[in-house]
Amino acid sequence: MTSGSVQAVHRSPDHTFCKWSEDEVELVAGVGVVGDAHSGARVKHRSRVAKDPTQPNLRQVHLIHAEVHDRARELGFEVAPGDMGENITTRGIDLIDLAVGSILEIGDDVILAVTGLRNPCPQLKGIHPDFQSAMLDRWEDGTLKRLAGVMSVVIAGGVVRPGDPIEVTAPSRHRRLQQI
């Protein structure tokens, strides 16, 4: 079992790229973050709604580990928690290395299941014209490694606050996360 912590929590009621920091966010099972534009049982991301609005929402909660922000700053980019549109900023867990179906237990009540990777979309260029490409790397086998965070669904709801512990349980079979 791996552990880490919540560094910051964010939401936006509008389809804005950046999300505002909050003292806490409430998560609802099967829905996502209360008051966030991307919450809902059916897909809410505009590009996916345009393709098929009846799809299940596998992107209810977006998480990025703070180490991605650290890396970006080392590369000379100004980026803070929430700037990349994440709902939860974590520390101590390399989210990108998790497997599909990994379970994140946050605080006393919240349980998330990791569904896939967020693609470093062109909106990242709003931070800096070169930022989108900086959020790409390569795995040891040469395949593309996306660093813009992971997406998840809410299995059990509750309140998430900065400082909450996170425990990760990996599935019995490791399947590398793919872009969803």
With contact defined as beta carbons under 8 Å apart, do 60 and 153 qualify?
yes
User: What pLDDT, on a 0 to 100 scale, did the predictor assign at position 44?
Assistant: 79
Region 102-130: what's the mean pLDDT?
88
The reported pLDDT for the residue numbered 1 is 67
Task: Note the CATH number of domain 2-169.
Answer: 2.40.33.20
State the Cα–Cα distance between residues 119 and 77, nearest whole angstrom. 19
Average pLDDT value for residue range 12-24: 92
Instruction: Delimit the domains of the chain by residue range.
Output: 2-169
* pLDDT tens digits, 39-86: 999 887 777 778 888 899 999 999 999 999 999 999 999 999 999 999
| Greater model confidence, 180 or 26 | 26
Checking if the pLDDT of 37 tops 80, the result is: yes
Distance CA 75, CA 56 (A): 36
Give the C-alpha separation, 177 to 108, whole Å: 26
